[in-house]
Amino acid sequence: MTDDAAAAPTCLARPLPGPDENGIGCAAARGVDGRPLHAAALKFFWGPMDCGKSTMALQMNYNHARQGRRGLVTTRIDRSLGPQVTSRIGLAHSAVEVTDSLDLRTLVRDTWAEGVRVDYLICDEASFYNVEHVEQMAELVDGYDVDVYAFGLATDFRSCLFPAAQRLFELADEVARIQIEVLCWCGREGLLNARVVDGRVVREGAQVVIGDTADSAEVRYQVRYQVLCRRHYRSGDLGPRS
């Protein structure tokens, strides 16, 4: 399953949640263990920068909302640096900013307490979350019957897995590489996210450094990111226009 058009029917085939004895939650048929027969799922959609992850996250949210489902959108370090998910092609949606201290289970419980249903979570930029957040996502699926759709990078600028991405690969019911190709300058498929400082590929430093933030007086260099094929990531060749 590689895109939301393919993913949506599976999800929408589930019975729409109805009110339980508290007027919220899911009243689907239950198995002998008391859990709903139509299990929720944790899905991780990953790809390099610029492959349309946030666009897909917002499209998925739209598709589910249109069918009467209620969801929450979360993000961390969105390109807008605000509490919203924005996409390069101009879509935007308000979102809950995920912090170290935020517990996704508490977020859902608090929303339920306000009388608002939560059928699913859209977790954008999930590779920037903590590993604990991924554990909470699994708990939301298994214990709260909430679908969780996570979107993010797999690897950092060193080509190593982000801890949260690694945990998502380990725990998710379904993992899908986003199939919108991002091309390296050479025309090969872009695979890796290179960090470029002062025009050169760097391979050491903090795991998360936000690009294009050289306005501060302390920052004397320009940080940006460029998607490269493996060959040119390894050689550090940024192409003729760099």
144 alpha carbon, distance to own chain's centre: 20
Under rule CB under 5 A, residue 183 binds Zn ion: no
The footprint of Zn ion on residues 186-215 (CB under 5 A) is: 186, 188
Under rule CB under 5 A, residue 42 binds Zn ion: no
Task: Report the candidate in 178, 147, 148 with the shortest Cα–Cα distance to residue 6.
Answer: 178
Q: Is there a catalytic annotation at residue 125?
A: yes
Under rule CB under 5 A, residue 232 binds Zn ion: yes
Under rule CB under 5 A, residue 6 binds Zn ion: no
Residues in contact with 158: Cβ distance below 8 Å, sequence separation at least 6, in sequence order: 203, 204, 207
**Residue 145 falls in which region: left (phi positive, over 0), alpha (psi -120 to 50) or beta:** left
| Minimum CB distance to Zn ion, residue 19 (Å) | 54
Angle 208-103-113 from CA coordinates, rounded to 5°: 145
The site map against Zn ion for 121-160 (x = CB under 5 A) is: ----------------------------------------
Under rule CB under 5 A, residue 238 binds Zn ion: no
| Minimum CB distance to Zn ion, residue 229 (Å) | 3
- Phi/psi at 152 (5° precision): 180, 180
Point out the catalytic residue in the list 21, 97, 114, 125. 125
- Which residue in 41, 85, 182, 229 binds Zn ion (CB under 5 A)? 229
| Minimum CB distance to Zn ion, residue 240 (Å) | 12
- Phi/psi at 132 (5° precision): -60, -35
| DSSP-derived secondary structure for 173-192 | SEEEE-----B-TTSSBP-E
| Minimum CB distance to Zn ion, residue 224 (Å) | 17
Cite the active site residues.
125
Binding site for Zn ion (CB under 5 A): 184, 186, 188, 229, 232
